[in-house]
Amino acid sequence: MAATLGRICGSKLLKSAPALNLQQANNLSTTKTWTNGQKKLFATIGALTGGVGALIYALEQSVEASGTEVHPPKMPWSHSGMIASLDHTSVRRGYEVYKQVCSACHSMQYIAYRNLIGVSHTEAEAKAEAAAITVRDGPDDSGEYYNRPGKLSDYFPSPYPNEEAARAANNGAYPPDLSYIVSARKGGEDYIFSLLTGYFDPPAGVALRDGQYYNPYFPGGAISMAQVLYNEVIEYEDGTPPTASQLAKDVSTFLKWTSEPEHDVRKQMLIKTVGLMTILTILAYYIKRHKWSTLKSRKIFFVPKKD
């Protein structure tokens, strides 16, 4: 037994190994064994990757610069902060703008009345909004279709029965669904706000067809949607002055919410995650500094008993 322990001590299995110096660390690198051809190959791949990335970025910038539309300016939205939530009173007013103005041409087929609960309306108010529409349902027990008042599970109604009817009513242009329009357009709510407030008389040399209007924020400048937001075009329930810019701001905020209904929840999760990671970081530092460091730095010596 003593001889066995002696051999273990002699082989230094119980002694801490010294740290590697720079020369020893360099000897562990596998790049030392690369041939010149391999080094040239990896260098070429790196250069090509960087060149392709730079080319893609340059092409994207040139395409944006060569477009005929004006890029929307960045607006100081109240929800643009890292932990800033949506203005829910603005969301409610934006719903009023959509209901009284935008819904005449645009659908929101992916938004149900139940989605309004806890965001802009109470459950009773959402039920009242849903009951104001008529939904064709069926068939019933006799195989007939019937009309009924709307329910919370119903989605916002479409102003047209199909795409062909929508095009026929708008000179061949199809009004897009607005459920995710903010996420679907470059510039997001900045683009929506600028588009709604950006109607001007066409400059000299710009010819428009019948039923088209000039808007520099729309690609090509010619848009089939007429200007729909004017001062006092509707009246807000809360008495907010309904200027054209206020209407555009509120409906843009509402469309931001419909495009990202998880917006506030996502930012709440960020706050919770940062708080939890802060606590875990402090705990990990404490364990490393006061618990693990003593285990890591201790030395264990075996002293065999003398016969």
Q: Which of 184, 174, 197, 175 is nearest to 70 (CA)?
A: 197
Q: Other CB atoms closer than 10 Å to residue 198's CB: what's the count?
A: 19
Angle between helices 88-100 and 244-259 (to 10 degrees): 100
Query: 9 among the known binding-site residues?
Result: no
Query: 102 among the known binding-site residues?
Result: yes
Return the sign of the alpha-carbon dihedral for residues 225, 231, 235, 236.
positive
Burial of 239 (0-12, 13-18, 19+ CB in 10 A): exposed
Between strands 222-223 and 134-137, the pairing is: unpaired
Measured between alpha carbons, how far is 51 from 59 in angstroms, rounded to an integer? Answer: 12
Q: Residue 128 carries which side chain, given as an amino acid letter?
A: A
Bin 77: left if φ > 0, else alpha if -120 < ψ < 50, else beta. Answer: beta
Annotated binding-site positions for heme c: 102, 105-106, 225
Annotated binding-site positions: 102, 105-106, 225
